[in-house]
Amino acid sequence: MHQDIKEILISEEQIKEKVAELGKRLSEVYKDLNPLCICVLKGAVPFMADLIRKMEIPMEMDFMAVSSYGNATTSSGVVRILKDLEASIEGRHVLIVEDIIDSGLTLSYLVEMLKGRNAASVKIATLLDKPDRRKVDLSPDYSCFTIPDAFVVGYGLDFAEKYRNLPYIGVLKEEVYQ
């Protein structure tokens, strides 16, 4: 285990199993709909890469970069679009792929923005859901794990851009970010 990690919350094996389960479910839900999976950079990259390989249906992908955290551990509430989608989503079935929903501020902003572009549907798939910290009324359509209120890193999630390459989800030692 990495020296800055206090505890492994979700192991590599647990992630693999849940992601495969979700991929199978999405393959049924989106059969014949050619969904557009939108990966929210950068944290959702490992989840997106693993999830789409478990979706055994035609699908397309695109990427968005937004930022609300910067190098802090709490959301500023201000969502900035750093990179927009390449193509129109009008009439498309959109699935937003996220690593974590914490305050919900990032996704509530994104969902409203994408709905405003006349998508046929806009749904959310998240690896982690941290409902205790929610500041807006938002719940994911698909979620792999519900986690307690702790700052976690790994499998895409960072603190100050570090730890994204850990293969598990771990709780960061307080002394590392305090």
Ligand X SMILES: O=P(O)(O)OC[C@H]1O[C@H](OP(=O)(O)OP(=O)(O)O)[C@H](O)[C@@H]1O
What is the distance between the alpha carbons of residues 71 and 177, in angstroms, rounded to a whole number?
A: 10
50 is catalytic: no
What is the distance between the alpha carbons of residues 141 and 97, in angstroms, rounded to a whole number?
A: 11
Work out what residue 68 binds among ligand HPA, ligand X, none; the CB cut-off runs from 5 to 8 Å by kind: ligand X
Q: Which of residues 96-155 bind ligand HPA (CB under 6 A)?
A: 100, 102, 151-153
Q: Which residue is nearest to ligand HPA (CB)?
A: 102
Does the protein bind ligand HPA through residue 69 (CB under 6 A)?
yes
Exactly one of 2, 18, 42, 123 binds ligand X (CB under 6 A); which one? Answer: 42
Work out what residue 40 binds among ligand HPA, ligand X, none; the CB cut-off runs from 5 to 8 Å by kind: ligand X
Please pick, among 32, 62, 84, 102, the residue that the annotation labels catalytic. Answer: 102
Q: Number of C-alpha atoms within 13 angstroms, CB side, residue 24?
A: 6
- Of the candidates 104, 110, 127, the residue with the CA atom closest to the CA atom of residue 49: 127
Determine the interface stretch with ligand X among 6-14, 35-43, 54-62, 88-96 (rule: CB under 6 A): 35-43
What is the distance between the alpha carbons of residues 110 and 156, in angstroms, rounded to a whole number?
A: 19
Strand extents, DSSP E, the chain = 5-10, 36-41, 60-67, 80-83, 93-101, 121-129, 142-146, 152-153, 169-172
Interface size with ligand HPA, residues (CB under 6 A):
8
Q: Which of residues 145-174 bind ligand X (CB under 6 A)?
A: 158
What type of residue sits at position 101? I
Question: Which residues of the shown chain bind ligand HPA in the complex (CB under 6 A)?
Answer: 69, 100, 102, 151-153, 157-158
